[in-house]
Amino acid sequence: MTTSSPYYITTAIDYPNAHPHVGHIYEKIIADLYARWHRISGYKVYFMTGTDENGQKLQKSSAKHHLNTADFIAYFSDSFRTTCKIFDISHTRFIRTTEAAHHHAVNFFWDKLSKNGYIYSGDYEGHYCYGCEQFYPENQAVNELCPVHGTPLHMLKESGYFFRLSHFQNKVIQHIEDNPQFIYPHAARDEMLSRLRREPLRDLSITRKNSGWGIPVPKKNEYVIYTWFDALINYYTPIHTQEFPQNAWPCNLHVIGKDITWFHTVIWPAMLMAIDIPLPKTVYVHGMVLDGQGQKMSKTRGNVITPQKLLQYFDLDSIRYFFIRSIPSGSDGKLSFDQMKSKHNNELSNEWGNLVSRVIKLTIKRCGQHISAPISWTDSNAENNLIKDKHDLYTKTQNFMHRFEHHKAMDALFAEISQINAHINEQKPWSIEDADALYQVLYTFIYRISVLCALLTAFLPDSSKSIWENVLKIHFNSDHPLSQSEFLQSKNIQKLPKFTLQASSAIIFKKIMTENFDLTLKS
């Protein structure tokens, strides 16, 4: 890796037929965590999210509200964009699939697929769900009901165009088998592999009758392209238009929910293989955010909690803390405001916030605001140990992040917080009288806290930034404050940094006192 190596990460693109709910923002936060992690690790990050706008379902929803489809979609797309902004999601591109740039990329795919002989015209008859906009094979259409919505499927006969998906069965299996890093977690990988080995792949119907909405099939305006087929191509759009550099492809990471794994790990790879474009390196599949009763949160079920409702009680970092640490990677997780409160008060505020405040206050009181590395150490290995421990904690966290086990990464960081707290209680710096010994002890604590703060930047960006910039300025020489990334990457033992400390009057993670959370739905 060089400092300029690209790291391209995406979320799924959302349907803009309603305001976002907590499940949508959960996905953005997880993707944002990986984006920020790679930034502090020195990569140039390209991070894309956006809205999926060409489905006929959206046309139907707008008609129900007697609204113009384009206006209806623009309104909700804006709501997704604004929510990302409010949640400080660090994306570098927000794509709307009604953009001309995206239409160009889709036409490019269509042409190449046709030239390569993977598109043909024909008739299709099968069980269709209007909600999912897809046909279901017999074995999934139990009692002729949609496996997702539970509503009756419609027998539909359509003529149109097909993608030769069946041709790619063995190739996709082979790719998944040969590349263990292609799908995380491995439970999702195993599920896809067993389905692929069990079910023969059928060719995919990739057009619908043109009802005035969608991307028309090139030179066949009576059809539009099936919305999933066009939506998947969004990931390639900024590469096709050269908005992102060519070496940002293959995309490093698609972050998606488990309900759409098949599209991303079977259909999308087959589309790319068919036109000889390398496959994304990893598809990371997260679980679902569930309501208090353990039901998936979704608009159809009417049990959604809005992201704004979360913000009424919690700040951004408390929300991130809960999502990242309390929902194990790949698992579903119940949203509980009471648990969020107790985690905020007991872990963020008591363990981390208090640690920072009390060490900074004590150091300023006993050693002053400016502290440099001690000139001599009682223990000759102390300097080496500091650098080594920083490196070890960084590597440990990185290993978890490479395996997409972000909850374990967070556990490791909070284990270090507990350990520092325990060391403080053992060493009782407030009662050390020897000035040199005290200075060494406090420098060590400040140094360990700054390592944590730098690493936590990806997980808890708001509080970490404010601690880094306001409470704990770090430099190698007097006028150049270090960034978190510079500090983490530096291995030079000659260069233990200097700190300028600022007693913060603001309490870090103020306690939440709310007794009863009002969960009334307002969207």
Active site residues: 21, 24, 129, 132, 146, 149, 296, 299
Note whether 256 binds ligand MSP by CB under 6 A: yes
Q: Pick the stretch among 8-16, 88-96, 119-127, 486-494 that binds ligand MSP (CB under 6 A).
A: 8-16
Q: Tell me, what DSSP letter sits at residue 152?
A: B
In this chain, which of 9, 29, 289, 471 binds ligand MSP, going by CB under 6 A? 289
In sequence order, the 6+-apart residues with CB closer than 8 A to the CB of 459 are 33, 320, 321, 324, 406, 409, 410, 413
Nearer CB in complex with ligand MSP: 296/498: 296
For tokens 């030769």, the residue is 164
Q: How far apart are CA 351 and CA 255, in angstroms?
A: 31
Note whether 33 binds ligand MSP by CB under 6 A: no
Note whether 296 binds ligand MSP by CB under 6 A: yes
Q: Pick the stretch among 24-32, 37-45, 61-69, 456-464 that binds ligand MSP (CB under 6 A).
A: 24-32
Nearer CB in complex with ligand MSP: 322/447: 322
Nearer CB in complex with ligand MSP: 37/235: 235
Q: Pick the stretch among 135-143, 253-261, 369-377, 455-463 that binds ligand MSP (CB under 6 A).
A: 253-261
Give the residue closest to ligand MSP by C-beta: 257
Nearer CB in complex with ligand MSP: 288/413: 288
Q: How far apart are CA 49 and CA 31, in angstroms?
A: 9
Contact 314, 349 (CB under 8 A): no
Q: How far apart are CA 82 and CA 25, in angstroms?
A: 11
Count of Cβ atoms closer than 10 Å to residue 202 Cβ: 14
Note whether 386 binds ligand MSP by CB under 6 A: no
In this chain, which of 210, 298, 350, 490 binds ligand MSP, going by CB under 6 A? 298
Nearer CB in complex with ligand MSP: 28/448: 28
In this chain, which of 257, 330, 353, 374 binds ligand MSP, going by CB under 6 A? 257
As to burial, measured by CB atoms within 10 angstroms (0-12 exposed, 13-18 middle, 19+ buried), residue 475 is: middle
Range 44-83, binding ligand MSP (CB under 6 A): 52
Contact 60, 17 (CB under 8 A): no
Q: Pick the stretch among 288-296, 430-438, 442-450, 508-516 that binds ligand MSP (CB under 6 A).
A: 288-296
List the structure tokens of 421.
């707290």
Nearest approach, Cβ of residue 470 and ligand MSP (Å): 34
Q: How far apart are CA 387 and CA 382, in angstroms?
A: 9
List the structure tokens of 199.
């079910």
List the structure tokens of 458.
């990806």
Nearer CB in complex with ligand MSP: 43/163: 163
In this chain, which of 188, 260, 420, 424 binds ligand MSP, going by CB under 6 A? 260
Note whether 9 binds ligand MSP by CB under 6 A: no
Note whether 230 binds ligand MSP by CB under 6 A: no
Q: How far apart are CA 119 and CA 475, in angstroms?
A: 60
Contact 448, 416 (CB under 8 A): yes
Contact 335, 292 (CB under 8 A): yes
Q: Where are the beta strands (DSSP E) in 200-353?
A: 204-205, 207-209, 216-217, 220-225, 253-257, 282-286, 289-290, 333-334
Q: How far apart are CA 127 and CA 145, in angstroms?
A: 9
Nearer CB in complex with ligand MSP: 286/448: 286
Q: Pick the stretch among 132-140, 157-165, 293-301, 386-394 that binds ligand MSP (CB under 6 A).
A: 293-301
In this chain, which of 7, 8, 14, 473 binds ligand MSP, going by CB under 6 A? 14
For tokens 């990242």, the residue is 324
Sheet holding 93-96, edge to edge: 93-96, 44-51, 6-11, 253-257, 282-286, 183-184
Q: Pick the stretch among 22-30, 460-468, 480-488, 498-506 that binds ligand MSP (CB under 6 A).
A: 22-30
Nearest approach, Cβ of residue 453 and ligand MSP (Å): 29
Contact 58, 18 (CB under 8 A): no
List the structure tokens of 174.
């082979």
**Strand 44-51 and strand 93-96: pairing?**
parallel
Nearer CB in complex with ligand MSP: 30/393: 30
Note whether 486 binds ligand MSP by CB under 6 A: no
Nearest approach, Cβ of residue 156 and ligand MSP (Å): 21
Note whether 23 binds ligand MSP by CB under 6 A: yes
Note whether 27 binds ligand MSP by CB under 6 A: yes
- Kindly write out the interface string for residues 122-151 of this chain, putting x where it contacts ligand MSP by CB under 6 A and - elsewhere: ------------------------------
Identity of residue 469: E
Note whether 413 binds ligand MSP by CB under 6 A: no
Note whether 26 binds ligand MSP by CB under 6 A: yes
Nearer CB in complex with ligand MSP: 119/297: 297
Question: Which ranges of 133-265 would DSSP assign to H, the alpha helix?
Answer: 169-178, 186-198, 227-233, 237-240, 261-262
Nearest approach, Cβ of residue 108 and ligand MSP (Å): 17
Count of residues interacting with ligand MSP (CB under 6 A): 21
Nearer CB in complex with ligand MSP: 234/463: 234
3-state helix, strand, coil in the chain (%, to 5): 50, 15, 35
Nearest approach, Cβ of residue 256 and ligand MSP (Å): 4
Contact positions vs ligand MSP (CB under 6 A): 12-15, 23-24, 26-27, 52, 231-232, 234, 256-257, 259-260, 288-289, 296-298
